[in-house]
Amino acid sequence: MWQTTPWYVDCLGLREMTTVYSGGALEGVLNVVVSLGGDRLQFQTGQSPSAFVGTRPLRLTLPATSSSMLRALCAEMGVAHQARGGAGESRFSYALASGAEFEVKIRGSLSEPETASILVVRVEAPAADEGQSCASASVSAKESEGGAERPIPPVVEQDTPAFRAAPSGERSGWEIDPALAEVLGAAIASGASDVHLTEGQAPVFRVQGRLQAFTGPIVDVGGLLSGASQRERVIAGQAIDLAFTFQNAYRLRVNVYSAREGLCAALRILPRDAPELSQLGLPDEVTTLTRVRDGLVLFCGLTGAGKSTSLAALTRHLLEGVAGLCISLESPIEYDLTPRRGQSRVRQREVGVHVTSFAAGLRDALREDPDYILIGEMRDRETAALAMTAAETGHLVLSSLHCRGAASAIDRIVDLFPGDQQRQMRGQLADSLRAVVSQQLLPSRQGEGRVVAAEVLTINAAAAHLIRDGKAEQLHTVMHSGKHAGMLPLERELVRLVKAGRVERSVARSHVRWPELFDQWA
């Protein structure tokens, strides 16, 4: 029989079990968890203890844990948490008489009425059943900067999916908060593209381009951050970019920032793997860009227009068609670009993790024998200059740019440079630029999801002449007359979508720049 307090024995119903355990309260509960194949056990003030096999919860019937119970467990393990860490953290190893080894983390204060938690993770835990892999739960994971130990948030306390163990550059050993898991599950089910979180407020979803309030749980925004250093940076006014994998099928691109309302976060929901180019519904003028073998190809549009998705799909299509090496520079890494067939290879580098900046990564890439270079976003002068240099030296460079249209992308790049350099930059652009794709997302006529509308500017002799002479505002005339050169003005593409029954005519017309041309072609 157990040498422990009655509440464990009564609630676990051990009098009806044939296996008899000996030792203290914690050892007894851990033996039960191990016998059921579990790999994690958590006690938290005011909540029932919970145990898991991978991401699947074990069904234990236990009462809420009090501070006195947590103090008793610490005493059993011989740890004076209050003396060692106060309201901070204690970390150590713990072994059962059976030889099973665990890593233990104690966080918070054990004094009434404050809260604390004890997380016990089995070392080399068995794989979860039902084909689920156990999430990494090392309590010695290091942050990417400073080498500080990264806190492990509470384990999931309900049957909700968790983030998988993350590759290098992501938050390894991190378990999703149950409230966030519920919010993300609801967002995915509703077809949301984004989730907006504000400290102390209910989440908001963006569905088909419009915000919708969600009446679910309030998420701890600070729990997205990895340690005190990131929190201090956000409070000081610096936004933090993160990326996670959810349900082993989705990527979450996260930006955490500070506002008058407190900590806030914007989460973009993306498929984990880069989609097939054919799945996006892009016009033929975009898909034919897979024939380009060198130079600069830009995807532009406003935030949320699907630029990153199109770039990832085009890159993967290139890699699966012709064997080559792709080096990507992203902040953060969004899609997994690994090709599913062929001999191509990908090296995905995250700015701030694997490389200090886009410019530094580009300088490195020129010495790393790439065939393709993917730049997540062309943000500054140095990155733009290096991208054009790489394009001129025989590489295919793909990047995104925030601007409204294909023609305005030219002025946006040139304006990054001082006046005495702009003439030279226009000349480099005229020589290195191969195409500019401008995207918009419009609500579907069927009311399910959104439809991409793309404008394509390919650089022929006439377009290159206008760029070199600083007459980018006249490029729209080249697009309207350059159908045989693979050009596609936005008005013509919107007419096609209306005739195909994919977009309402009134919606399409509200997005054009030249309504008279739209009416003429419609």
Q: State how far the Cα of 508 lies from the Cα of 441, in Å rounded to an integer.
A: 10
Q: What is the pLDDT of residue 196?
A: 96
* pLDDT(287) > 60: yes
For the chain, give every residue range classified as CATH 3.30.450.90.
Answer: 1-127, 160-271
Closest listed residue to residue 229, CA positions, set 137, 150, 332: 150
* pLDDT(258) > 80: yes
Could you give the angle at the alpha carbon of 293 between the alpha carbons of 290 and 294, nearest 5°?
125
Determine the average pLDDT of the residues in 64-85: 70
Q: What is the dihedral of CA 392, 393, 398, 403, to 10 degrees?
A: -30
* pLDDT(145) > 80: no
- Reduced to 3 states (helix: H, G, I; strand: E, B; else coil), residue 331 is coil
Q: Which residues contact 29 (CB under 8 A, 6 or more apart)?
A: 8, 12, 41, 49
Burial of 477 per CB tally in 10 Å (0-12, 13-18, 19+): middle
Pick the most confident of 22-31, 74-83, 91-100, 460-469.
460-469
pLDDT tens for each residue of 376-388: 998 889 999 999 9
Q: What is the pLDDT of residue 439?
A: 93
Q: State how far the Cα of 404 lies from the Cα of 503, in Å rounded to an integer.
A: 20
Higher pLDDT residue, 20 or 235?
A: 235
Q: State how far the Cα of 175 lies from the Cα of 197, in Å rounded to an integer.
A: 18
| E strand or H helix at 515 | helix 515-521
* pLDDT(212) > 80: yes
* pLDDT(57) > 80: no
Of the candidate ranges 26-30, 184-188, 367-371, the one whose mean pLDDT is the lowest: 26-30
Residue 55 pLDDT grade (very low, low, confident, very high; cuts 50, 70, 90):
low
For the chain, give every residue range classified as CATH 3.40.50.300.
Answer: 277-521
- Over 180-220, what HEC string results? HHHHHHHHHHCCCCEEEEECCCCCEEEECCEEEECCCCCCC
According to DSSP H, which parts of 419-511 are helical? 419-432, 461-468, 475-481, 490-499, 505-509
Mean pLDDT of the chain: 79
Higher pLDDT residue, 20 or 223?
A: 223
| CATH architecture of structural domain 277-521 | 3-Layer(aba) Sandwich (3.40)
Residue 431 pLDDT grade (very low, low, confident, very high; cuts 50, 70, 90):
very high
Q: What is the pLDDT of residue 288?
A: 92
Q: What is the pLDDT of residue 67?
A: 80
pLDDT tens for each residue of 359-375: 899 999 989 999 999 99
Residue 134 has phi, psi (to 5 degrees) of -70, 135
* pLDDT(117) > 80: yes
Residue 114 pLDDT grade (very low, low, confident, very high; cuts 50, 70, 90):
confident
Task: Choose which CATH entry (1.10.8.60, 3.40.50.1000, 3.30.450.90, 1.10.3080.10) describes domain 160-271.
Answer: 3.30.450.90
Residue 124 pLDDT grade (very low, low, confident, very high; cuts 50, 70, 90):
low
pTM above 0.75, yes or no: no
Of the candidate ranges 66-70, 128-132, 134-138, the one whose mean pLDDT is the lowest: 134-138
Closest listed residue to residue 23, CA positions, set 54, 2, 48, 51: 2
**Conformational region of residue 463, where left means phi above 0, alpha means psi within -120 to 50, and beta covers everything else:** alpha
Task: Choose which CATH entry (3.40.640.10, 3.40.50.970, 3.40.50.300, 3.30.450.90) describes domain 1-127.
Answer: 3.30.450.90
Residue 25 pLDDT grade (very low, low, confident, very high; cuts 50, 70, 90):
low
Q: State how far the Cα of 52 lies from the Cα of 54, in Å rounded to an integer.
A: 6
Of the candidate ranges 322-326, 421-425, 474-478, 479-483, the one whose mean pLDDT is the lowest: 479-483
* pLDDT(136) > 70: no
* pLDDT(172) > 80: no
Rg, the chain, Cα only: 28
Query: Alpha-carbon torsion 487, 490, 491, 497, what sign?
Result: positive
Q: State how far the Cα of 91 lies from the Cα of 378, in Å rounded to an integer.
A: 43
Determine the average pLDDT of the residues in 211-239: 86
Q: What residue ranges in 208-324 does DSSP mark as E strands?
A: 210-213, 240-246, 250-259, 262-271, 295-301
Residue 309 has phi, psi (to 5 degrees) of -65, -45
* pLDDT(215) > 60: yes
Determine the average pLDDT of the residues in 43-51: 82
Q: What is the pLDDT of residue 53?
A: 78
Q: State how far the Cα of 237 lies from the Cα of 183, in Å rounded to an integer.
A: 26
pLDDT tens for each residue of 331-354: 888 888 998 888 999 999 988 888
Residue 18 pLDDT grade (very low, low, confident, very high; cuts 50, 70, 90):
very low
